[in-house]
Structures are given as structure tokens and as C-alpha cells.
Chains A and B, each alone.
Chain A
Amino acid sequence: MTEDPSPPPEEFANRLRDLRKQVDGDNDKGAAEKPGAAAPGSAMGLAFRVGIELATGLVVGGGLGWLLDRWWHTSPAMLILFFFLGAAAGMVNVFRTAREINRRD
């Protein structure tokens, strides 16, 4: 059990240093590539995400307005009002999404 199969400590330290250097080099390269190297899916994904935010605002606003109209028999006043409020909410969501993405980059 006195036999030590692991490489001598100095050799291990050398290998570790080399690997660290390699990993750091990779990291630097990754950071440099980052702004231009948008993944093919990400730009489309971003457009999709923002589009869906905007559309769901309209759907939720319109839906809520329609429901209120049914309860209060005010058709179509609430539908029209909440359609625009929903559009505003959608824009707020788009703005927040954009801010979130900017923060992350």
C-alpha cells in the first residue's frame, strides 16, 4: 500500500496550471465572441417572445372586457376600453422584457 499510483505532486500542479490556462483562454474567447455570436434561434426567439407578450396583452384585455360586458350588459363599452388597456399592458410587458434582456447581456 506504500505504492502511490498518482503522479508526483509537481507534475499534477503543472497539469492543473496548464488546464486552468486553457480554460481561461476559452472563457476569454467566449466573452469576446458573445456580442456578435447570437445563436440562430435567439434572435427569432426574441422576436417570438416580444410578439407573444404584445399579443397576450390584447387577448387578456379583450377577454376581460368581454366578460365585464356580459356581467354589466354594457356591450361594447368595456370591450373597447379594456382592449386599449390590454394593448397598454402588452406594451408594458414588452418594455419589461426588453429591459430584462438588456440587464442580462
Chain B
Amino acid sequence: MEHHNPLEQFAIQRIVPLHIGGIDVSITNSTVFMVLAIALITLFLTLSMRSGSLVPARWQSMAELSYEFIGNMIRENVGNEGRRYFPFIFSLFMFVLFCNLLGLIPYSFTVTSHIIVTFALAAVVFIGVTIIGFIRNGAGFLRLFVPSGVPVFLLPLIIVIEFLSYLTRPISLSVRLFANMMAGHTVLAVFGSFVVALGILAGWMPLAFIVAMIGLELIIAILQAYVFAILTCIYLNDAFHVHH
């Protein structure tokens, strides 16, 4: 009997081994699925908008819906200054969404189930927001760590706490996405092995659970992409409006 390790699905496999200057830059299954996600996003957006009709058909409507979804999100959470960062947030949302959704296809690989991927995305957001904050507000950005109306003797404590709270942002942003994706896929794999182990007699029970679970996973895949994008907006808002 072959082994059924529920964590096996997360293994990185080198497809084309490549070493440049002692650094491993092999093309892995993760790379393939990232490229696939980007290719699918490009195809989806260009093909569906090719006709560009005034009254949108189904595909065009989907593309416009995702555009307006992020557009409204930025307008509501950041305001008009945030519109400059629409391309970044839209790309981020679509990339996370497509990686999450691609991962739901059986035998595929979930890029976002690796913390290094989500942490890299979160670090880009965190560093970017910090730089934008300092460019726009100068040293005034540091007021983010000083809430108004705090007694002076409490200030040293509050500043340290606010600073730590600021540092948790990239961690919680990345761990949230990674943990959601990894937990869901592990549960699916575990119940998948139950189906095999219980056979025809009782195997339909975990199978029914898997069907329900896939529905939930679909919601989570979309919800987590949304949460990632909206938290990026909220953090970006701090860079524009420093107040507490």
C-alpha cells in the first residue's frame, strides 16, 4: 500500500534544475503554478475585454466586476489618493485569488500554502506602505505610534506596544493566508485517505464531507484573497492619513 501523507501535496519538486552563481533557481512546481496563474489572469482579462462592448456579456461582466470590486474597495478604504495604487492592489488580489483557486483543482499545487510565498507578498506590502508613509508624511509618519489623548507617563509603554503592533502586520497578513490554505488542503487530504481506508461500505461518509468541504474551501479561497487585498488597503490608508 502506498503511503498517504496529507502533507505530501505541499512538497516542492524541481522540474528543471537550475543553478546560477550557486543559488538554486530551479523551476519547481511552485514556479509553474505561479506562471500559470499569471498567464490565466492575463488571458482572462484580455480575452474577456477584447470585444469591449458597452453592454457587457458574461465574461466581460466578470472582468468588469473584479475591476470595480477592487476599485470600490480602494475608494472606500483609502480614498481618492489610493487610486494610484490600484494596479498593484488589483494584481495582488488577482494573483492570490487565482493561486488559491488553482490549488483547488485536484493534483494541482497551491502556491499560497507556502508561508515564504505569502510572507514575500506581505513583506512587499509592509515595506512599500512604510516607504510611502515616510515619503508622504516625513517624520510625521512616526505619529502613527503615538495615539492622541494618552497620558505622558503611559507614552513609553504605548509607543512600544504600537510599534510591536505595527511589526505584527506582515506576520499576521502572511500567516492568515498560508494557514487557511494549508489547513484546508490538509483536511481534504486526510479525509481523502479516509475514503480509501473505509472503502465502499462507509467511504461515502467522508466523501460527502469532502464535497461540502470543497464548497467551503471555494469560499475561503475567495475570502482570503479579499481579506489580503482589503488589509493592504487599510494599511495603505495609514500611510495617507496618519491619525489615531
Chain A residues in the interface with B (C-beta under 8 A)? 39-42, 45, 48-49, 52-53, 55-57, 59-61, 64, 82, 85-86, 88-90, 92-93, 96, 100
- Hey, which chain B residues are within 8 Å of A82, CB to CB? 164
| A92–B171 CB distance below 8 A | no
**A contact residues around B168 at 8 Å (CB):** 53, 56-57, 59-60, 89-90, 93
Q: Is the CB of B220 within 8 A of A60?
A: no
| 13 chain-A/chain-B pairs, Cβ below 8 angstroms | A48-B179, A49-B227, A55-B175, A56-B172, A57-B165, A57-B168, A60-B167, A64-B164, A85-B160, A86-B164, A88-B161, A89-B164, A92-B165
Residues of B within 8 A of A39 (CB): 219
For B216, the chain A residues whose CB sits under 8 A away are 40-41
In the complex formed, the residue of B with least CB distance to A45 is B223
Nearest A residue to B220, CB-CB: A41
Residues of chain B within 8 A of A45, CB atoms compared: 180, 220, 223, 227
A90 to B161: give the CA distance in the assembly, Å: 9
Residue B65 at the chain A interface, CB threshold 8 Å: no
> Does the CB pair B164–A52 fall under 8 Å?
no
Query: Across the interface, do B220 and A64 meet the contact criterion of CB distance under 8 Å?
Result: no
Give Cα distance in the complex from A100 to B235, angstroms.
Answer: 12
How many B residues, CB 8 Å from partner? Answer: 20
**Secondary structure dominating the interface of A:** helix
Do the beta carbons of B167 and A52 come within 8 Å of each other?
A: no
- In the complex, what residues of B have CB within 8 A of residue A64's CB? 164, 167
In the complex, which residues of chain B have a beta carbon less than 8 angstroms from the beta carbon of A57? 164-165, 168
Question: With a CB–CB cut-off of 8 A, which chain B residues contact A52?
Answer: 172, 175-176, 179
Which residues on the B side are within 8 Å of A40 (C-beta)?
A: 216, 219
> For A41, what are the chain B residues with a Cβ–Cβ distance below 8 Å?
216, 219-220, 223
Contact A59 B220 (CB under 8 A): no
List 10 additional A-B contacts (Cβ < 8 Å) besides A40-B216, A41-B216: A41-B223, A42-B223, A45-B223, A52-B172, A53-B168, A57-B165, A57-B168, A60-B168, A85-B160, A96-B165
Residue positions of B touching A, CB distance < 8 A: 157, 160-162, 164-165, 167-168, 171-172, 175-176, 179-180, 216, 219-220, 223, 227, 234
Inter-chain contact B164/A60, CB cutoff 8 Å? yes
Across the interface, do A59 and B171 meet the contact criterion of CB distance under 8 Å? Answer: yes
Cα-based distance from A76 to B178 in the complex (angstroms) = 31
B176 pairs with A89, CB closer than 8 A: no
Complexed CA–CA distance, A26 and B167 (Å): 43
Determine the distance from Cα of A64 to Cα of B171 in the docked complex, in whole angstroms: 13
Also in contact, A61 and B223, with CB within 8 A (given A52-B175, A52-B176, A53-B172): no
Complex Cα distance, B168 from A64, in Å, reads: 11
List the B side residues contacting A90 at CB < 8 Å.
165, 168
Distance between A94 CB and nearest chain B CB, rounded to angstroms? 10
- B176–A48 CB distance below 8 A: yes
Chain A residues with CB below 8 A from B165, complex form: 57, 89-90, 92-93, 96
Question: A55: which B residues are within 8 A, CB to CB?
Answer: 175
With the chains together, A88 CA to B158 CA distance in Å?
9
